[in-house]
Amino acid sequence: MFTGSNNININGLTSINSQRFHIAINYCNNVHIDGVKVSADANSPNTDGIHIQSSHSVHVTNSKIGTGDDCISIGPGSSYVNIQNIQCGPGHGISIGSLGRAAEELGVENVTVSNVDITGADNGVRIKTWGKNSKSFARNIVFQHIHMKMVKNPIIIDQHYCLDKPCPNKESGVKVSNVRYEDIHGTSTTEVAVMLDCSKDEPCTGIEMADVNLVLVNQQAQASCDNAHGFANDDVVPFTPCLKRAAV
């Protein structure tokens, strides 16, 4: 774990079967993580490969991560995060969040995830927020040049995320805006390959999709969409019904 540090370089590290997060970056600035290998059993909980929280200018590149939780998770208070050239899987994919567990929680902004292969994961690229009142946000996010192979939920926004039983059954106060999905291709293991489950109280806005093609192992997949607004090009498959069509 790195806390309250600046100008960090982590190169060529291998981490196997950590009891919890393998690499945690908290309250840090100007972090470069390159060429790391992280491995944990697919059924081991809370073994995130790299967790980033309350940190700025973080770059994760050229790494291979397979765990029982998120390959990379980006938590509250993080900004200007660049993730590039990653092999992810098994695990829970690359996640923004969870966000909004606390009412006064900070948000996440200016994140780019690019050139990623995700294989055999529960999720591909995910934004997850708690169904609670919160001032948190996720904005200015780009997911691009991503290949999915046998992924359960390739594209998902889950604004009713809950691990505390019973769940509060409230709408999330987290505002999700300006999220772009581009050049994302591959296979889903479930019929719903794209799920945008946004908050009724704070609908997702500025969602853009272009050059997306996700199939259910040689069959047509579907998209599910609630309270999301934006545009999708004609080359988006499956087409997301609540997004307006935009010319290619």
pLDDT in tens, 96-107: 999 999 999 999
pLDDT exceeds cutoff 70 at 247:
no
Number of neighbouring beta carbons within 10 Å of residue 11: 10
From the list 22, 32, 56, 92, the catalytic residue is 92
Q: Give dist(CA 157, CA 106) in Å, integer.
A: 18
| Arithmetic mean of pLDDT, 170-179 | 97
pLDDT in tens, 61-79: 999 999 999 999 999 999 9
pLDDT confidence bin for 203, thresholds 50/70/90:
very high
Contact, 55 vs 85, CB < 8 A?
no
- 152 vs 28, 40, 41, 45, 215, CA distance in Å? 33, 19, 18, 17, 11
User: What share of the chain in percent tops pLDDT 90?
Assistant: 88
Q: Which two tokens stand for residue 83?
A: 């993730």
Tell me how many degrees the CA angle 63-69-74 measures, rounded to the nearest 5.
65
Q: Which residue has the higher pLDDT, 143 or 167?
A: 143
Q: What is the pLDDT of residue 34?
A: 99
Average pLDDT over residues 125-130: 98
The pTM assigned to this predicted structure is: 0.96
Q: Is-contact 165 126, C-beta < 8 A? A: no
**pLDDT band at residue 21, thresholds of 50, 70 and 90?**
very high
**In this predicted structure, what is the pLDDT of residue 218?**
78
Q: Is 92 a catalytic residue?
A: yes
Domains of the chain and any CATH numbers? 2-246 (2.160.20.10)
